[in-house]
Amino acid sequence: MNQSSKQRVRAQYDAVAPAYERRWSRYVDASVNATLTHLTVQPGERVLDVGCGTGLLLARLAERAPAGHLAGVDLSPAMIGEARRRLPDHVLLAVADAEDLPFATASFEVVVSSSAFHYWPAPARALAELRRVLCQEGRVVITDWCDDYLACRVGDRLLRLVDPAHRRIYGRAECATLLTDAQYQVTAIERYRISWLWGLMTAAARRPGASPDHSR
């Protein structure tokens, strides 16, 4: 992510962080719940949330496994501050972007990202970085807006005109191609509506050689 893009996204979310969940509560709950529906974490597995925002997804995971090994990164220091107030002390949080994660190679069994993919200007580089921090049994679960739905396509085109931080959204086929080109094995990509108007997709994939049926 180039520096100007980082600055725009950071400034936008620093400004809205205190009111983010209140303002977008229905969408945030729906997207987090949809992501968790597609995510199974085994006892002892290490989980990284990329674009963790205010930490709602990590909080839900911490409720399921209070002693779990959880970490989150976000480009916005203010969003990380909101997450820190919500989450237990054992959850590791850091300000970082998806293309430059502050973790050693093969640090996590699971990497998850919800509602951040459309901000990544270079998804191939970001997916490669996510793959780097995944161990050999690792898998990735990504939820984002879906370009297969008309309302999402219209919203995407409008945001590209008026919001410099917004990059673009993808359809199911495009997402599968991005993951395959980044050397993942795609196990599922599901699209679904969270309201009469808005649609999301969740992609699940794993590194080659990972054991089967662990990505859902």
Tens of pLDDT, residues 63-117: 998 888 999 999 999 999 999 999 999 999 999 999 999 999 999 999 999 999 9
Go through the domains of the chain in sequence order and give each one's CATH number: 3-206 (3.40.50.150)
Size of the chain in residues: 216
- Across-strand partners of 214? none
Residue 31's H or E segment, with its range, is: helix 25-37
Question: Residue 194 in 3-state DSSP?
Answer: coil
CA separation (Å) from 177 to 21, 32, 180, 183?
A: 32, 24, 5, 10
Tell me, what's the pLDDT at 214? 41
Residue 203 confidence (pLDDT): 97
Distance of CA 158 to the CA centre of its chain: 22
| 146-203 per-position pLDDT tens digit | 999 999 999 999 999 988 888 999 999 999 999 999 999 999 999 999 988 899 999 9
Helix (H) or strand (E) holding 168: none
Residue 113: helix, strand or coil by DSSP?
A: strand
Provide the pLDDT confidence category of residue 36 given band limits of 50, 70 and 90. Answer: very high
Return the DSSP state at 9.
H
In this prediction, residue 215 carries a pLDDT of 42
Structure tokens at 25: 């509560």
- Evaluate if residue 3 carries a pLDDT over 80: no
User: Residue 208 CA to chain centroid, in angstroms?
Assistant: 21
Q: Which residue has the higher pLDDT, 149 or 3?
A: 149
